[in-house]
Structure 1
Amino acid sequence: MILAVAASQDVAFLDARGIPIVQVGDATFKAIRDYYPMFTNLHPLSVVQQEAVAKRATRATDRFAMATQWSIDSLVADYGVSSRNCVLAPFGPALEPSLPPTVALGEVGVLRALLVTSDWARKGGDLAVRVIDQVRQQHPGVTLTVVGNTPDALPDWVENLGRLPRQELAEQYERADVLLELATANAGGVTLTDAAAFGLPAIATDTGGVSSIVGNGTSGILVPQGADTFTAAVAAVETLLDLDVRSRYARGARAQHDATLNWEAWADAVTALCVEAVSSASHRGEMGTRA
């Protein structure tokens, strides 16, 4: 069988000669078109070409292992794929602690928020700063650390670390109390799976595939996208000032990592799907020979 990881264009023009194909992905073209900034306002010809590739690759694929329910829903609704041919297989983290994290209660009135971003605008960087600034009016022990592609001009109270090596980034996950990810578009987000590995609760906008990664009320808090995001995010940050609530969400985040957001669970799900695809193809071949 052929396992195609984020390779729809290759699959679309591959002569597989009857070999079953399993695609691994986290989005479809229709799901990200006019959703992610880089796929917004595309030239009409580009849209036609991308859709042709997506449809051709979808027809050629026997099974799909998708990272979120959002991506599966798009395959079913937009491309006519049977839900029976799809399995939810969330990705594991890019970073993991050397030892399983321990949940410490922390200090009363202190909350260290972390924002990790490769795209400041899409990840809601300015909004995150506004949210923490608002909370700090009543709770000055709340802080914000930003890592990644960040602007130079930020308030003095923001700890702006810029891009960091992997080990130093892992240290920031370890010292933080909550991951803040108020993204306007998010297929799933590796930062969310990283946070779960470190037992770090997340406050994130409920958009794209996020709800498959963050359990609202168990491993973090999902806030609505739109006009109410600011108010809901402020309330969520204030909720996590309660040490008992924060500890419960931290345990929930690590439990979700152990259950589904790890590469062993991903491999088990994808392996089972591959076996199923091969078995189904073999059965079709036998039936065809008998006919």
Structure 2
Amino acid sequence: MKIGFYSSMHLDDKRNWSGTMYKMYEQISKLGHEIEWIPKLTLSSSEEKRYKNLENWYQKIFKRGYNQHINFYKARVIANKVDLYLKKQNFDVIFAPTAVNDFALVTTKTPIIYLNDANVGQLLNYYPYYSGFGWLSKKETMLIEKKMLQRATVNIFSSEWAADYAINHYGIQREKVKVLKFGANLNVPKNWQFNKHLDNEITFLFLAVDWIRKRGNLAYQTVKILKEKGYNVKMQIIGCNPHLEEEWVNIIPFLNKNNPDELLEIQNHLLNSHFLFVPTQADCTPIVFCEAAAYGLPVISTNTGGVSAHVENGKTGVLLPENASAKDYADAIEPLLMSRNEIEKMSVASREKYDKELNWEMWGKTMSNLLLNIKPS
């Protein structure tokens, strides 16, 4: 089967979507299919100018923000270019991850597999960069997304949270919606066994770039409460620098996954920490939660977005409501510190969840079955 893979960056580039695009390309390649990169199509300078005039007109009238990524002007212009491009090709299937705006209005008869970690409709006023749009822009966004989901032969989401929204909010047929959970975008220990010391210092790892949205201060305040109660705990921060000076906080402002030595350092912290503590404010599919599971690391986070697809509260981690305070988190964590064999149970369950669900090999097997059931045009 010849598959056209639509992407803004080359398929070999491991930076694209935190490495997720590369991992999907890698798995589809292993299935033996011929894959050809379709570079993301863009507006010309004159088309971009017309769009800016439209955006300025909208903001002047409505005094509100306009979704510059998803709108009918760009959708129509790009769809025409996509159709023209595809007429010169001979693909059996198009794989278009996240390309909601670019394929919503295409007329090609080639089957399209659409993939995303959320519906954009779910992200309106949920993510900061999808907030502040006027009512007309929001309606436009959701109409385009609905057309994309209707147009696709199969719609793949990485969580039940996103899949259920497509079915219940947009009325997409259940048989057209599938859940394929993502895996870890780094090296995974093959024969993992729990061998951590639980009678010494317990390390809470905060691994994230965005201290604000991932609510690093909430994690910090929680660990501080536990420290003040006399527990031997430590916070390891990687990916940002909140300039904390406590002796029980260690900060590594940045580590590059594309640097082998720095990647190894990240992996060592995953291997040696006891919890991944990222009480995120908003998230769809945090890949770092899949990576934590691969290293048998229980996750402490928020029951928001698609998080519960990757963390089972009370089994592979702790999930609290979005309005939970540092005291609430400390109260939930304290029983684990008092009965530390529960930490080992959670660690083992986390790795088992990775082996059964949160790995790219499983993603590839499920994708293989989906491709077998698609009839080329």
TM-score calculated relative to the size of structure 2: 0.69
Structure 2 match to 1:7: 99
Q: Which amino acid aligns with 1:250?
A: S
Q: Relative CO higher for 1 or 2, CA cutoff 8 Å, sep ≥ 6? A: 1
Structure 2 match to 1:248: 345
Q: Which deviates more from structure 2 when the two are superposed, residues 216-225 or residues 92-101? A: 92-101
Alpha-carbon deviation of 1:114?
0.3
Gaps of 5+ in 2: 1-92, 257-262
Question: 1:1-291 residue pairs with structure 2 within 5 A?
Answer: 1-16=93-108, 18-44=109-135, 46-108=137-199, 110-153=201-244, 155-165=246-256, 166-226=263-323, 228-241=324-337, 242-276=339-373, 278-279=374-375
Alpha-carbon deviation of 1:183?
0.8
2-structure distance, mates of 1:50, 1:33: 9
Q: Which amino acid aligns with 1:221?
A: V
User: Helix, strand or coil for the counterpart of 1:240?
Assistant: helix
Q: Give the paired residue count.
A: 278
For residues 87-107 of structure 1, the C-alpha deviation after alignment (integer angstroms, 9 at most, x for no partner) is 111101112334432202413
Gaps of 5+ in 1: 283-291
Q: Which deviates more from structure 2 when the two are superposed, residues 22-31 or residues 47-56? A: 47-56
8 Å CA contact retained: 1:96, 1:197: no
Q: Which deviates more from structure 2 when the two are superposed, residues 197-206 or residues 42-51? A: 42-51
% same residue: 26
2-structure distance, mates of 1:145, 1:271: 39
8 Å CA contact retained: 1:122, 1:185: yes
Q: Which deviates more from structure 2 when the two are superposed, residues 209-218 or residues 251-260? A: 209-218
User: Helix, strand or coil for the counterpart of 1:232?
Assistant: helix
Root mean square deviation of aligned Cα: 1.9
8 Å CA contact retained: 1:177, 1:201: yes
TM-score calculated relative to the size of structure 1: 0.89
8 Å CA contact retained: 1:105, 1:243: no
For residues 161-220 of structure 1, the C-alpha deviation after alignment (integer angstroms, 9 at most, x for no partner) is 111132221111111100001111111211100100111111111111111101122211
Alpha-carbon deviation of 1:153?
4.2
8 Å CA contact retained: 1:109, 1:139: no
For residues 45-99 of structure 1, the C-alpha deviation after alignment (integer angstroms, 9 at most, x for no partner) is 6434433431221221121111001101211122111222211111011123344
Q: Which deviates more from structure 2 when the two are superposed, residues 199-208 or residues 104-113? A: 104-113
Q: Which deviates more from structure 2 when the two are superposed, residues 201-210 or residues 236-245? A: 236-245
